C-alpha cells in the first residue's frame, strides 16, 4: 500500500484520504493484515439447530462449512478436499452426516474426520503411503462464539473472542440475549453492492447525522416516527471495546414504559428485566437511551428500530444482523439476517419480521437509500482526484482536538465505554483507528497443514 504511514497517520487524526474507499492496494493490505487476523462472524447457532445441520459461509475468499456434528458440537472446516482441492460441499445449507467429494469420492464426517478414501491400499499402499489416521478437513484457525454468534479468525493465535470484543459484549446482549433462550437468526438475504465494505460498517457504528437527511422519506410516509433531526441528535453514541453504536433518547417514563414505547409486549419485557444486568437496564430505564444501530469491528453490524407495520399508531421493534462481506475494493456482499428472541410470542415474531422486511435488507426502505449513497461514494473515490483529498471526518472535535461535547458521566450513562450525546464521528474514528492499527501490523504467522505425511513438517 503506497504511503501507508501518511495514510494511517491522517486516518488517525480524523482526516480521511478519500481513496481508501476504492483502492485495490488498500484492499490487498486489508486482506493480508486485517481480515487475516480479526474475528469474523460466520453464522448463528440457530441456523444449524439439529445434529448434521450445516451452512457454508465465506471468510474473504475462503469457503468454510459450519456444521453441527453428531455430538452437537459446532465446527468450521475449510471446504476443500484434502486430495485434489475440490469443494466437498457445494450447497449453501442442508443436513448431512458426511460430505463426499464428487471428484474421487473421498468422504468426511460432519466433524471433518476423513472416513472414506477409495482404494487406500491399492493406490497408496495404505497408511505407509497416505497416513489417513487423524486426517480431517482443515479446521478454521480459530473458532469461538458469544450468545450463539459463531466467529472465525484466520489467525491461529487470535485472542479469545470475548477479549477481542471487550466491553462491546455488554451491548450485544440487547440484540441477542433478551431471554435465557437467546435469539433465532433467519436469513440471510444476500446481495452484492458496488460499494466499499467500510462505508456500511462506519455508518452503522455511529452515523446518527445521516438519519434525518437520508431517511426523510420513511418519516414522510409514516413508517417511522423517530428520525426527525431534533430527535436524532438527542440520542448518544457509545464506543466500547471493539464496537460501538447509536441510541435514541426516549420520552420520560419508567423502564417498562420505555420498553413499551418501542413496542415490546409485557411478556418480553418481563424476561428482559430478569435477563439484563442492572447497568444494562439503567441505560434504558434510568438514562433513557434505546440502542439502535451498531458495528463490531471490522464488518459486522446490528440494527434495532421500531416502525409502524400497519395503518395504526402501534410500532413494532425488529433486530437485524448484517455482515459487510468484502469482495473487492469496490464491491461488498451484504448478508442481512432477521433476529428475534426465541421466546417471543409468535404474533410478535411475525410482525417483527414484517417490520424488518419493510425497513432493512434487500428490499428495505431504509436500506435502499443508504446503498445508493454508498455506491455513489465508492465510484467517486476511484479517481486520482480522490488521492488529493483529505475528507474531514472530525465531527465532534475542534481543530485543537478539544471535544465539542464532554462524554456522559457514569451517572448519566450506565453502559461501559465512552458515550456522548449528539452528532459526532467519534465511533467512525474509533473504527478506523482500529483499522489503522491492523494495517500497521505484519500479517499473523500461519502454519501449513501437510496432508497424509505422518510426522513430517513442511519443507522449509
Partner 1 sequence: MTTYLPIRSADSPLGQDAPTTDAVGASLAFDDPRHLLAHRWLVEETYVLDHQDYDAWLGLLAEDIHYYMPIRVTTALGTGYDTAKRMAHFDEDKYSLSRRVARFQTEHAWTEDPPSRIRHHLSNVRTFATANDDELVVESAVLLFRSRGDVNEASLISAGRTDLLRRAGALGGGWLLARRHIAVDESVLRTQNLAIFL
Which residues here bind partner 1, judged by CB under 8 A? 90-94, 96, 186-195, 214, 216-218, 220-223, 309-311, 333, 338, 346, 349-350, 353-354, 357-358, 361-365, 367-369, 371-373, 375, 379
CB of 200 to partner 1, least distance (A): 12
SS3 126: helix
Residue ranges of the alpha helices (H) in 114-245? 120-124, 161-165, 168-176, 197-206, 211-214, 216-220, 229-232
CB of 219 to partner 1, least distance (A): 9
CB of 284 to partner 1, least distance (A): 28
Whose CA is closest to 144, among 57, 49, 36, 42? 42
Closer residue to partner 1, CB minimum distance, 338 or 423: 338
Closer residue to partner 1, CB minimum distance, 14 or 307: 307
Instruction: Judge whether 247 and 235 are in contact, CB under 8 Å.
Output: yes
Q: CA-CA-CA-CA torsion for 77, 81, 83, 85, nearest 10 degrees?
A: -110
**HEC states along 68-116?**
ECCCCCEEEEECCCCCCCCCCCCCCEEECCEEECCCCCCEEECCCEEEE
Cα angle: 202, vertex 207, 208; to 5 degrees: 160
Whose CA is closest to 431, among 331, 325, 296, 324? 296
Q: How far apart are the C-alpha atoms of 195 and 370, rounded to whole Å?
A: 11
Closer residue to partner 1, CB minimum distance, 229 or 433: 229
CB of 383 to partner 1, least distance (A): 13
CB of 176 to partner 1, least distance (A): 18
DSSP string, 295-312: EETTTEEEEEE----SSS
Q: How far apart are the C-alpha atoms of 203 and 428, rounded to whole Å?
A: 7
CB of 215 to partner 1, least distance (A): 8
Closer residue to partner 1, CB minimum distance, 264 or 374: 374
Residues 6+ apart with CB under 8 A from 257: none
Q: Cell numbers of 247, please?
A: 441510541
CB of 217 to partner 1, least distance (A): 4
Whose CA is closest to 109, among 23, 51, 49? 51
DSSP string, 229-258: HHHHTTSEEEEETTEEEEEEEPPS--HHHH
Closer residue to partner 1, CB minimum distance, 193 or 430: 193
Whose CA is closest to 247, among 227, 265, 264? 227
CB of 97 to partner 1, least distance (A): 13
Whose CA is closest to 202, among 331, 333, 326, 299? 299
Closer residue to partner 1, CB minimum distance, 242 or 322: 322
* HSE-up (13 A, CA, CB side) for residue 202: 23
CB of 396 to partner 1, least distance (A): 25
CB of 84 to partner 1, least distance (A): 21
Amino acid at each position: 500500500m503506497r504511503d501507508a504511514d501518511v495514510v494511517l497517520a491522517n486516518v488517525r487524526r480524523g482526516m480521511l484520504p478519500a481513496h481508501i474507499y476504492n483502492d485495490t492496494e488498500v484492499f490487498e493490505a486489508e486482506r493480508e493484515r486485517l481480515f487475516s487476523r480479526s474475528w469474523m462472524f460466520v453464522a448463528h447457532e440457530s441456523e444449524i439447530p439439529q445434529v448434521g445441520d450445516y451452512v457454508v459461509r465465506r471468510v474473504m475468499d475462503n469457503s468454510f462449512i459450519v456444521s453441527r456434528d453428531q455430538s452437537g458440537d459446532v465446527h468450521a472446516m475449510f471446504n476443500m478436499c484434502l486430495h485434489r482441492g475440490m469443494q466437498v460441499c457445494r450447497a449453501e445449507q442442508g443436513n448431512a452426516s458426511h460430505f463426499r467429494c464428487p471428484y474421487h469420492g473421498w468422504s468426511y464426517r460432519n466433524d471433518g474426520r476423513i472416513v472414506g478414501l477409495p482404494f487406500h491400499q491399492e493406490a497408496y499402499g495404505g497408511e505407509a503411503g497416505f497416513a489417513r489416521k487423524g486426517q480431517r478437513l482443515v479446521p478454521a484457525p480459530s473458532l469461538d462464539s458469544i450468545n450463539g454468534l459463531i466467529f472465525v479468525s484466520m489467525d491461529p493465535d487470535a485472542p479469545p473472542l470475548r477479549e477481542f470484543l471487550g466491553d462491546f459484549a455488554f451491548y450485544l446482549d440487547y440484540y441477542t440475549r433478551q431471554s435465557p433462550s437467546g435469539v433465532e437468526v433467519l436469513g440471510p438475504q444476500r446481495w452484492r453492492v458496488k460499494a466499499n465494505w467500510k462505508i456500511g460498517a462506519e455508518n452503522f457504528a455511529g452515523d446518527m447525522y445521516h438519519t434525518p437527511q437520508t431517511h426523510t422519506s420513511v418519516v414522510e410516509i409514516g413508517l417511522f416516527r423517530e428520525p426527525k433531526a431534533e430527535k436524532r441528535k438527542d440520542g448518544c453514541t457509545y464506543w466500547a471495546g471493539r464496537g460501538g453504536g447509536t441510541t435514541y433518547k426516549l420520552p420520560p417514563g419508567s423502564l417498562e414504559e420505555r420498553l413499551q414505547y418501542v413496542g415490546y409486549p409485557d411478556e418480553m419485557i418481563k424476561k428482559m428485566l430478569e435477563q439484563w444486568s442492572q447497568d444494562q437496564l439503567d441505560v434504558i430505564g434510568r438514562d433513557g437511551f434505546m440502542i439502535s444501530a451498531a458495528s463490531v469491528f471490522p464488518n459486522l453490524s446490528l440494527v434495532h428500530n421500531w416502525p409502524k407495520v400497519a395503518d395504526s399508531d402501534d410500532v413494532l421493534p425488529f433486530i437485524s444482523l448484517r455482515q459487510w462481506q468484502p469482495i473487492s475494493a469496490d464491491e461488498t456482499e451484504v448478508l442481512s439476517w432477521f433476529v428475534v428472541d426465541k421466546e417471543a410470542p409468535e404474533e410478535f415474531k411475525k410482525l417483527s419480521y414484517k417490520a424488518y422486511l419493510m425497513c432493512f435488507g434487500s428490499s428495505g426502505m431504509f436500506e435502499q437509500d443508504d446503498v445508493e449513497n454508498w455506491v455513489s461514494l465508492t465510484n467517486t473515490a476511484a479517481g486520482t482526484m480522490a488521492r488529493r483529498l483529505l475528507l474531514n471526518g472530525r465531527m465532534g472535535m475542534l481543530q485543537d482536538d478539544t471535544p465539542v461535547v464532554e462524554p456522559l458521566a457514569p451517572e448519566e450513562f450506565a453502559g461501559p465505554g465512552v458515550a456522548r450525546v449528539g452528532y459526532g464521528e467519534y465511533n467512525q474514528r474509533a473504527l478506523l483507528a482500529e483499522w489503522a492499527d491492523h494495517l500497521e501490523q505484519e500479517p499473523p504467522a500461519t502454519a501449513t497443514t501437510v496432508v497424509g505425511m505422518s510426522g513430517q513438517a513442511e519443507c522449509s
